[in-house]
């Protein structure tokens, strides 16, 4: 039997999350079964449980978790994975479980030098960050402003932009300014005149903006610095009429970028170009505490669920 975390209703995680026993998954054609070492918790998971995404009762119980990492324990026909492979699973369905089954093209070998725990918390945010950087075609001639540069998506976007030779200025709370400097960015604070602060922080004019915050202040400042089509946002859905580029993985280009991101991201994790800061690990039976923590003020970094 396999233990799995599910939501039996919508509402407070402490009230609706439950661990259930299910039959062990089996691998069909082109599928792989993975024994999960760790799975990354993301804001999307919290919103699904609370009903902020949808409260459709016919979807219950909800199998939760969109990214995981572990070890291959069974392979079906038509796969090139081997039992014992260390792998990351993305996109995953129901990753908060002892074992999960996934299509082979969603199962990615973890290179030597990358930890399984870090790989478990990298890809969901990482492919989004990669999409923003590739959409803007950032390079050595660019100076980019990243709103929310210390967040899960923002910090990877900063690291990827720096690796491409771009100069980066990023907003964050003062507590995270040293983290941004470590990533190679010039930090500035939220609040005040963000556009002026960005101009003062770097010698060259800003040429592109990555927005992970979604606030009106962030978009208003960005429009003072660059044309709308040089602003890529993953959050400012209410500002579509301004002509900014909104990304959620739904367009053909965005999907292609995210598929192409996985191997480079795992390689960057292995060589230390990207890091995943893990701030807490929780057992399946204690997962509600992680959900509650992520829904409120919490430290920078990733929460992991471990079976």
pLDDT tens digits, 131-147: 999 999 999 999 999 99
Break the chain into its structural domains and give their ranges: 2-122+276-306, 125-246
* Of the candidates 106, 78, 72, the residue with the CA atom closest to the CA atom of residue 92: 106
* Of the candidates 1, 83, 81, 11, the residue with the CA atom closest to the CA atom of residue 307: 1
pLDDT tens digits, 245-290: 999 999 999 999 999 999 999 999 999 999 999 999 999 999 999 9
pLDDT tens digits, 101-130: 999 999 999 999 999 999 999 999 999 999
pLDDT grade for 4, boundaries at 50, 70 and 90: very high
pLDDT grade for 190, boundaries at 50, 70 and 90: confident
Q: Is the pLDDT of residue 234 over 90?
A: yes
Q: Is 254 exposed, middle or buried (0-12, 13-18, 19+ CB in 10 A)?
A: buried
What is the distance, to the nearest Å, from the Cα of residue 109 to the centroid of all Cα atoms in its chain?
18
C-alpha distances in angstroms, 289 versus 26, 57, 257, 301? 30, 24, 34, 16
Buried b / exposed e over 202-215, threshold 16 CB at 10 Å, is beeebbbbbbbbbb
> Are domains 2-122+276-306 and 125-246 of this chain identical in fold?
no
Fold of the CATH domain 125-246: Rossmann fold (3.40.50)
* Of the candidates 126, 129, 117, 121, the residue with the CA atom closest to the CA atom of residue 170: 129
Residue-level pLDDT at 138:
98
pLDDT tens digits, 57-80: 999 999 999 999 999 999 999 999
Q: How many CA atoms lie within 13 A of 139 on its CB side?
A: 2
Domain 2-122+276-306, architecture per CATH: Alpha-Beta Complex (3.90)
């Amino acid at each position: 039997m396999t233990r799995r975390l599910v939501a039996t209703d919508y509402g407070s995680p402490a009230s609706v999350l439950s661990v259930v026993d299910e039959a062990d998954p089996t691998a069909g054609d082109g599928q792989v079964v993975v024994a999960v070492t760790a799975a990354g918790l993301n804001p999307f998971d919290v919103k699904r449980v609370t009903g902020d995404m949808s409260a459709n009762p016919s979807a219950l119980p909800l199998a939760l978790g969109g990214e995981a990492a572990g070890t291959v324990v069974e392979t079906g026909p038509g796969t090139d994975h081997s039992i014992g492979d260390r792998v990351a699973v993305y996109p995953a369905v129901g990753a908060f479980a002892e074992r999960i089954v996934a299509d082979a093209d969603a199962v990615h070998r973890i290179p030597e030098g990358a930890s399984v725990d870090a790989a478990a918390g990298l890809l969901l945010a990482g492919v989004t960050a990669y999409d923003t950087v590739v959409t803007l075609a950032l390079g050595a001639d660019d100076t980019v402003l990243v709103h929310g540069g210390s967040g899960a998506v923002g910090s990877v976007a900063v690291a990827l932009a720096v690796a491409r030779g771009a100069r980066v200025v990023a907003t964050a709370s003062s507590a995270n300014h040293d983290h941004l400097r470590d990533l190679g960015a010039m930090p500035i604070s939220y609040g005040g005149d963000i556009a002026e602060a960005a101009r003062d922080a770097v010698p060259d004019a800003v040429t592109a903006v990555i927005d992970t915050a979604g606030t009106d202040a962030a978009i208003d400042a960005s429009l003072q610095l660059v044309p709308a089509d040089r602003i890529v946002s993953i959050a400012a859905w209410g500002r579509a009429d301004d002509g900014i580029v909104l990304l959620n993985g739904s367009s053909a280009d965005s999907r292609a970028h995210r598929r192409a991101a996985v191997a480079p991201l795992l390689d960057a994790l292995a060589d230390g170009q990207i890091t995943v800061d893990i701030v807490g690990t929780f057992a399946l039976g204690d997962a509600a505490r992680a959900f509650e923590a992520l829904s409120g003020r919490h430290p920078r970094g990733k929460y992991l669920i471990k079976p």
